[in-house]
Structure 1
């Protein structure tokens, strides 16, 4: 059984990063891997099936509603962005966008927050370096902020579901780390970015989505979360054998691999109700911080980079230093708290 689970884990960690067809159909791939893992570990039951069908409901509904609202009110939103941008100093505007998107991502979902970010970047028209930096800081902020509620992103949905926790569990667990970090990212963006408005900004391309695209994305999110629920249940024996007893600070650094792999997938494989809160806290912080370092690490990164034509090398040039520094600062705080 363990050998089978290790093979599945290797496939889940490697194929999305190396095979384009798998990456393009990640939701279906993870759903299939989840089903296989459940049968390999003999974990299938009617209760698990019911859970896999129910877990995605809230985040799927949130994505659908927010997507429709974004489509219907995009034009007024563009005008509001321009109005606010013209009334505020550049640094204040940048900080405000980064902070607000991070804080509201847990309510409107990381996906919609990323789409709003793309809209802001396309309307404001900064020079390329400034726009890339602005996008990366905002994506770090969104990735952290979305983890505060179970409707923010798949990682938080899966975590709350696996632990059978209350709605505000994640805010209590990581809120004191996440909220100051979101504010700090906004301040750093305002200080480090010196934008000169230019016609050479990034080309965001068409932003208007069809109803078909909105419903297709909603269906994919449902499959994604259902697959992660099955994957997490299938890997319970592996978690009990190899991860439950590890030092939380070791798990924190192990999860720097979230820079290249979707953090929700890793959360589904790692987190267990058998773990202490501080262990889960370390896992989550490692996942959500390092997830901003490279494009594949988080959903907002993928959306923003794709819409704004940011290459992997351009993202890594700024994302890796920001992420490493963030990891070190958070690690020092964790050491101070635990020891």
Structure 2
């Protein structure tokens, strides 16, 4: 079983970067790998299938309805973005978007924050390099900020429930680390994003999507989330056997697998009410940061990359180095605080 799961993990990590057909059909590929993982680990059952069918429903509906609503309000939204971008220096405007979305994602949920991000990007005329960098920095911010309340994303809901904690527990526990991180990701936009002079701050009117386009995107998100549910369940025996006995510092780095596995499932498998706060903090920060490295690592990544046609290689080229630097910085903070 362990050898089989290790092979599947290698496939998930490397095939999307090396085989163009896999890259173009990433949702189907991950779905197949998810099915393979639950078969290899022997956890295939009716309850899991039902869960995999139900888990993606809310996010899929949110994606579809947000797409329909944005089609309706597209014109005034474009004018609003244009007005604000004229008032502020453009790179500062991008930084503020990243910071604001990161902070409010804990209230409006990571899903809605990601959909707002996509809506903003689609009306900004950014060159491709700037667009990819902006989206990745914003997804890091959203992914981290959403965990500050139980309603922000599934990971925070699961963690709060397993720890029998109150609504503001995660804000108190990791807020002092997460909020400066959100601000830092925003400030990085002013340093690392350099829109070309021709495109800087300009708005391009977007062609409205058809109903078919919106439904197709919803289908892809549904399949993606279903695939992550299967992958998380399939790898749970592997996690239980090898990870739960490790020191918190080691677990922090091991949790980089959340770049390709559902971080909510990893949190469900790893977090226990018997753990001290230092251990819980190490687990959560490791999951949050590494979740931004690759597209499958977090729901905002999936939504943004799917809508904006960002390829796995494009994401990894910028997302992985940023994530590794953040992992090192936060590890130093955890060690010093400990």
TM-score (norm 2): 0.75
Alignment of 1:20-31 (within 5 A): 20-31=20-31
Change (3 A) 1:33 1:116: same
Instruction: Give 1:333 shift.
Output: 1.9
Map of 1:119 onto structure 2: 122
Map of 2:8 onto structure 1: 8
Would you say 1:157 and 2:154 are equivalent positions? yes
Give the unaligned 5+ runs of structure 2.
none
Q: Deviations over 1:186-242 (max 9, x none)?
A: 234346767674347899895632221211221222222222222222222211211
Distance 2:47 2:15 in 1: 30
Q: Identify the range of structure 1 (79-88 vs 9-18) with the bigger mean alpha-carbon deviation.
A: 9-18
Assess if the C-alpha contact under 8 Å between 1:55 and 1:161 holds in 2: no
Alignment of 1:167-182 (within 5 A): 174-182=174-182
Instruction: Give 1:330 shift.
Output: 1.2
Map of 2:35 onto structure 1: 35
Distance 2:233 2:160 in 1: 11
Instruction: Give 1:104 shift.
Output: 3.8
Distance 2:155 2:161 in 1: 10
Q: Deviations over 1:35-69 (max 9, x none)?
A: 33323322233332332222222222222222222
Give the unaligned 5+ runs of structure 1.
none
Q: How many residues align?
A: 328
Question: Alignment partner of 1:73: what SS?
Answer: helix
Assess if the C-alpha contact under 8 Å between 1:204 and 1:307 holds in 2: no
Would you say 1:55 and 2:55 are equivalent positions? yes
Distance 1:319 1:44 in 2: 33
Distance 1:28 1:196 in 2: 36
Assess if the C-alpha contact under 8 Å between 2:267 and 2:284 holds in 1: no
Assess if the C-alpha contact under 8 Å between 1:43 and 1:233 holds in 2: yes
Map of 2:229 onto structure 1: 229
Map of 2:242 onto structure 1: 242
Instruction: Give 1:331 shift.
Output: 1.1
Distance 1:250 1:138 in 2: 27
Distance 1:89 1:293 in 2: 28
Assess if the C-alpha contact under 8 Å between 2:95 and 2:187 holds in 1: yes
Assess if the C-alpha contact under 8 Å between 2:16 and 2:26 holds in 1: yes
Q: Identify the range of structure 1 (305-314 vs 107-116) with the bigger mean alpha-carbon deviation.
A: 305-314
Would you say 1:187 and 2:184 are equivalent positions? no
Distance 1:249 1:102 in 2: 26
Change (3 A) 1:336 1:46: same
Distance 1:5 1:233 in 2: 12
Q: Let me know the Cα RMSD of the aligned residues.
A: 4.1
Map of 2:333 onto structure 1: 333
Instruction: Give 1:270 shift.
Output: 7.6
Q: Identify the range of structure 1 (76-85 vs 132-141) with the bigger mean alpha-carbon deviation.
A: 132-141
